[in-house]
Amino acid sequence: MNQLDRRAFLHAASAVSVGFLGLRHATAATTSARATGLLGPLKSDPRGILDLPDGFNYRIISRTGDRMSDGLIVPGVPDGMAAFPGPNGLTLLVRNHECSTDPRYRSPLGDSYSLKNRTDLSKFFDQGFRNTPAHGGTTTIVYDTRTGQVKREFLSLGGTLRNCAGGPTPWGSWLTCEETVQKPDSIHEQEHGWVFEVPATAEVKLHQAEPLYDMGRFNHEAVAVEPTFGIVYLTEDRGDGLLYRFIPNEVGKLNKGGRLQMLVIIDQPGVDTRNHDQQRFEIGATVPVRWMDCENVRAPDDDLRKRGAAAGAAVFARGEGIAWSEDGIYIVCTSGGRAKRGQVWRYRPSPSEGTPDEANKPATLELFIEPNDSSIVDMPDNCAIAPWGDVILCEDGPGPDSFLLGVTPKGDVYRIGRNAISASEFAGSTFSPDGSTLFVNIQKDGLTLAIEGPWPKS
């Protein structure tokens, strides 16, 4: 990673701590949280797709079923994304597709796989029995924020399943995660539940799908990468999931293997952090933690979390979003808390993180927020950091409306957008490297949008 890229990564990551500090302030005393009109009230979209404040506009830059530059079609269920700087000021947007192998979830190969001859199926992870390649994977959009034009769009990873979230690496790739533990059957040829690495490239290229087996097999959700030593932190989207970390054998070379570990709270083996039936952890409570090696990480019986909890690992409520910052690593647990409206934890690494000496200077875990109030935020999932330091949240609650929200450092919540076309969640929010454009997916409707407007200044 060059010095410019590293500075950009550190700047974006450090902004995470600024935004979440305000969110904690708001939710520690929920009466102090208030909706603000920072961007102004939302105006009804005459197209019936996305309500935005005055002065803002959006473009639909991609839609499920569109024909791409490689002759394939845009798959369904767009989810997690990250934006990377490309050549000549272009933006490289790598996007997940949370598709199962089911006709309801559009395959990039088209109906009845009629476009199979337009790509190299040997690069797919699961080519499937009976000519049924798995529908998930990633697509890459090469976008020019100066002209608002898509330059090209293509399949960049194929043959995977339910690619939900993931995370960018400091070395310019996207880690895409399978949120499934599908076993081989009459349709699927491979066992699923892995993490894959996808380079962000401007050229039309399908990358070889190579699972990172040492990162374990479970219901993967998202990852955050510590940039100096390349340690990867992973969440598990299960009601009784664990928190993991992966220490690579070689920084930036995840395919060279490493050790998968699970988080244990010192003197509280197997503790339930969910606070569903008992407030075991209060906001601001900080506890020392350690890490324990996982055994049999390929977990053919999908029992990694159960074995881990029995051995003393802490249990979390649907770990989803995770982000690294200089102030710590923030972990979103979508259904945590008494009201099951979500929690955010902050993990502060040891000064000797990943070394034997960390036992003498243990890392800590803090319950950062627990809103228990759906009128503030309703089950947060994906998140992003705005160039001006606010937190951008994608709601994934059960209500009839889904909002794209901003949270100021003081904890004031404001609305950026409302899904006017359906009740589907927003997903994959991410800003372009130049800060001009917020990209987001409306998942169930298969839309990827680029939002522009008079964003606040940093």
Question: Which pLDDT score, from 0 to 100, does residue 351 have?
Answer: 94
CA distance 27 to 418: 22
Indicate whether 169 belongs to any domain.
yes
Q: What are the C-alpha distances in Å from 142 to residues 29, 36, 89, 202, 426?
A: 43, 35, 11, 6, 21
Q: DSSP label at 324?
A: E
The residue with tokens 């503030």 is: 376
Q: What are the C-alpha distances in Å from 235 to residues 149, 223, 228, 305, 418?
A: 34, 7, 20, 11, 27
pTM (whole model) above 0.85: yes
Indicate whether 458 belongs to any domain.
no
- In 3D space, the residue among 429, 435, 450 whose CA is nearest the CA of residue 63 turns out to be 450
Question: Which pLDDT score, from 0 to 100, does residue 411 have?
Answer: 61
* 170 Cβ contact partners less than 8 Å away, ≥ 6 residues apart: 1, 5, 6, 9, 225, 227, 230, 252
CA distance 332 to 89: 32
Indicate whether 457 belongs to any domain.
no
Q: Determine what percent of the chain falls in helix, strand and coil, rounding each to the nearest 5.
A: 15, 40, 50
Cβ atoms within 10 Å of 283's Cβ, excluding its own = 17
Question: Which pLDDT score, from 0 to 100, does residue 387 have?
Answer: 87
Spell out the per-residue pLDDT of the chain, length 458, in tens.
Answer: 443 344 444 444 433 333 333 344 434 333 223 345 689 999 999 999 999 999 999 999 999 999 999 999 999 999 999 999 999 999 999 999 999 998 889 999 998 999 999 999 999 999 998 788 999 999 999 999 999 999 999 999 999 999 999 999 999 999 999 999 999 999 999 999 999 999 999 999 999 999 999 999 999 999 999 988 999 999 999 999 999 999 999 999 999 999 999 999 999 999 999 999 999 999 888 999 999 999 999 999 999 999 999 999 999 999 998 888 777 888 889 999 999 988 878 899 999 999 999 999 999 998 887 888 888 778 889 887 788 877 788 889 887 899 998 876 666 778 999 999 999 999 999 999 999 999 999 999 999 999 999 999 87
Question: Which pLDDT score, from 0 to 100, does residue 348 have?
Answer: 92
CA distance 449 to 434: 17
Indicate whether 285 belongs to any domain.
yes
**Apex 83 CA angle, 370 and 103, nearest 5:** 85
What CATH number does the domain containing 156 carry? Answer: 2.120.10.30
Residue-number span of the structural domain to which 155 is assigned: 3-452
Cα torsion angle, 147, 204, 160, 242, sign: negative
Q: Total domain count for the chain?
A: 1
In degrees and rounded to multiples of 5, residue 30 shows phi and psi of -65, -20
Per the CB < 8 A criterion, the answer to whether 308 and 293 are in contact is no
